Amino acid sequence: MRVQERIIEGLLWLSAVITILVTIGIIWVLLSESLTFFSEVSVIDFLTDKQWTPLFADKHFGILPLVAGTLLTTAIAIAVALPIGLTIAIYLNTYAPDGFRSAIKPMLEILASIPTVVYGFFALTVVTPFLQSFIPSLAGFNSLSAGMVMGIMIIPMISSLSEDAISAVPKSLREGAYGMGATRLQTAFGVLVPAASSGILVSIILAISRAVGETMIVAIAAGQQPRLTANPLVPVETITTYIVQVSLGDVPHGSLEYRTIFAAGITLFIFTFALNNLSFWIRKKYQEKYD
C-alpha cells in the first residue's frame, strides 16, 4: 500500500517536472541554433544592420526591420484595444446592470476564442478593402488593418483582467467617493483606476506580450517585406511572419538561412519572456494591500 502510494506520488511529481523540461528544451533549442548562427553573423550586425535579406543573394542579417514591424503592429493593436478594453472594464464594473454584465462577459470571451487564421482572413478581405475606401494609398498588405484586427482580438484580455483589478478595489473606497458627492465617472477615474493601476498595467503588458507573439493575423494581412518604417500603410514583416515564411519554403536544414529562424525566435522569446516576468513582478510588488 505504502509502496503504491509512493509510486503514484512519484509519477505525479514527474508530470509536474516535465514542465521544467519543456522550458529547458525551448531555451536549449533556441540557444544552440542561434549560437551557431552568431558564430557566422556578428551580433553587432544582427542588432544594428538596417536590412534583413537572408534569403537574397546580397545577404543582410539586421533584425531591426523585423522588430520594427512587430512593434508597429503591436502598437496599433494596443492603441485599439486599450481605450476600448479599459472603457468596457469601467463600464461593466460601475455602470452596467448585473444581468447585462453576466450576459456580455461570455460574449466578449468569444472574441478571444476565434482562431487567429480566421482573424487574418477578416483583416485581409474585409478590413483592408474597407479602409482603402478612405485611404486610397493603403497597400493590399499593411500593418494598419492587421494591427486593428489584432486589437479587436485582445480587447477581452484587457477588459476582463482590468475588470478583475477594478472589482478588487475595496467597496469602502468606492462608497467614500460616492459619499463625497462624486459621480460614477469621477469615482472611476479619480479612485478606482488609480487604485487598480497595477492590475490594469499587468493586463496591458500581457496584451502586448500576446500581440508580439501573434502570428497568423500578421502573416496573412501585414505582408512579407521586412522594412524599417513607422508607416502603417505599407507592407511590413514581423518576426513571427518571417519564421512562417521560411518554414513554408524549401530552406535546407543546417544552412545559415535555416538558423535565422532560431535567431529570430530567440529575439521573440526574449521580448515575451521579459514582458511576462515584468508583469509577475509588478503584480507581486505593487499589488495594493487593503485590509
CA angle 26, 29, 33 (to 5 degrees): 145
> Does 84 contact other proteins by CB under 8 A?
yes
Least Cβ distance, residue 25 to other proteins (angstroms): 6
Q: Which candidate, 151, 133, 154, places its Cα nearest to that of 73?
A: 151
Is 44:204 a contact under the CB 8 Å cutoff? no
Site for other proteins in 134-193 (CB under 8 A): 152, 155-156, 181, 183-186, 188
Instruction: Write phi, then psi, for 177 (nearest 5 degrees).
Output: -65, -45
Scored b (16 or more CB within 10 A) or e, 87-96 reads ebbbbbbeeb
> Does 287 contact other proteins by CB under 8 A?
no
Q: Which candidate, 210, 212, 241, 219, places its Cα nearest to that of 52?
A: 241
Contacting residue, 74, 128, 209, 260, with other proteins by CB under 8 A: 209
Contacting residue, 38, 51, 53, 96, with other proteins by CB under 8 A: 96
Least Cβ distance, residue 276 to other proteins (angstroms): 4
Contacting residue, 64, 75, 91, 201, with other proteins by CB under 8 A: 91
Count of Cβ atoms closer than 10 Å to residue 228 Cβ: 15
Site for other proteins in 19-58 (CB under 8 A): 19-20, 22-23, 25-26, 29-30, 33
Site size toward other proteins, by CB under 8 A: 84
Instruction: Sketch the per residue contact string, 118 through 137, with other proteins: x for CB under 8 A, - otherwise.
Output: x-xxx-xxx-----------
Of residues 253 and 289, the one with the C-beta less far from other proteins: 253
> Does 272 contact other proteins by CB under 8 A?
yes
Site for other proteins in 214-233 (CB under 8 A): 214-216, 219-220
Count CA within 13 A, CB hemisphere, residue 73.
42
Give the three cell numbers for residue 71: 512593434
Contacting residue, 55, 114, 180, 230, with other proteins by CB under 8 A: 114
Of residues 8 and 35, the one with the C-beta less far from other proteins: 8
Give the three cell numbers for residue 42: 556578428
Distance in angstroms (rounded) separating the CA atoms of residues 200 and 264: 30
